[in-house]
Amino acid sequence: MIATALAAGSRLVCGASVRWHCDPADSKQRIYYGNHSSHLDFVMIWSALPPRLRRSARPVAGRDYWERGALKRYLAGSVFRAVLIERGQSDKASARAAIEYMAREMGNQYSLIVFPEGTRSLDGQVGPFKSGLYHLSQLRPDVQLVPVYLENLNRILPKGESLPVPMMSRVIFGPVLSSNGAEDKNDFLLRARDALTQLKDTR
């Protein structure tokens, strides 16, 4: 009940229109990866999913933010069932451990919502992708990769603000990104980013 109300409220506040270029009824496990400019980003992707898919979609989010306060902890743990990770650890061992943790948390039923830029954009432009998406796709080559472009959320809830400003936005789910599991890391990240940015001009 709470999840349904939160999804409806989020879409109402953000005036979100949703467009699909892949099958919204497909129950295969997926990694939804989107551009990142607001704390609303994963909420909007999650709320835009059909209810059946929403129940098995888990956002990846920073533990430091979502464990700050009783309400955020409740939403992260009981509503979104978020996969919380430690941020700010730049050593390779910690980064690898975080990716392996995400892969394990998917099990054989869950999809993930991730943001490969690693940090929020201040101007709404899509920044370079960090390597996490590549390594996650290598660990879970059995799941589909779906780019999701979010429009206007950087204006609805800019970085540093706590209250959203209602206005129109778009959530665009792109075609499944093909992967053969043997692609060069840099080539893969460029191709994945291009697949996301190209959605900006779709209608």
What is the pTM (predicted TM-score) of this model?
Answer: 0.89
Using CA atoms, how far apart are residues 53 and 193, in angstroms rounded to an integer? 24
> How many CB atoms neighbour CB 192 within 10 A?
21
Q: What is the CATH number of domain 2-201?
A: 3.40.1130.10
Using CA atoms, how far apart are residues 174 and 194, in angstroms rounded to an integer? 11
Which DSSP symbol is given to 176? P
Name which of 161, 177, 163 is nearest 33 in CA terms.
177
Which residues lie below 8 Å from residue 164, measured CB to CB, with a gap of 6+?
A: 13, 14, 40, 156, 157
Q: Quote the tokens at residue 199.
A: 């959605």
Instruction: Return the domain boundaries, the chain.
Output: 2-201
- The pLDDT tens digits along the chain (203 residues) read 666 666 666 666 666 788 999 999 898 999 999 998 777 788 889 989 998 999 999 999 888 888 888 988 998 888 889 999 987 666 788 889 999 999 999 999 999 999 998 877 767 788 899 999 999 999 999 999 999 998 876 565 556 555 565 566 788 999 999 876 678 999 999 999 999 999 988 76
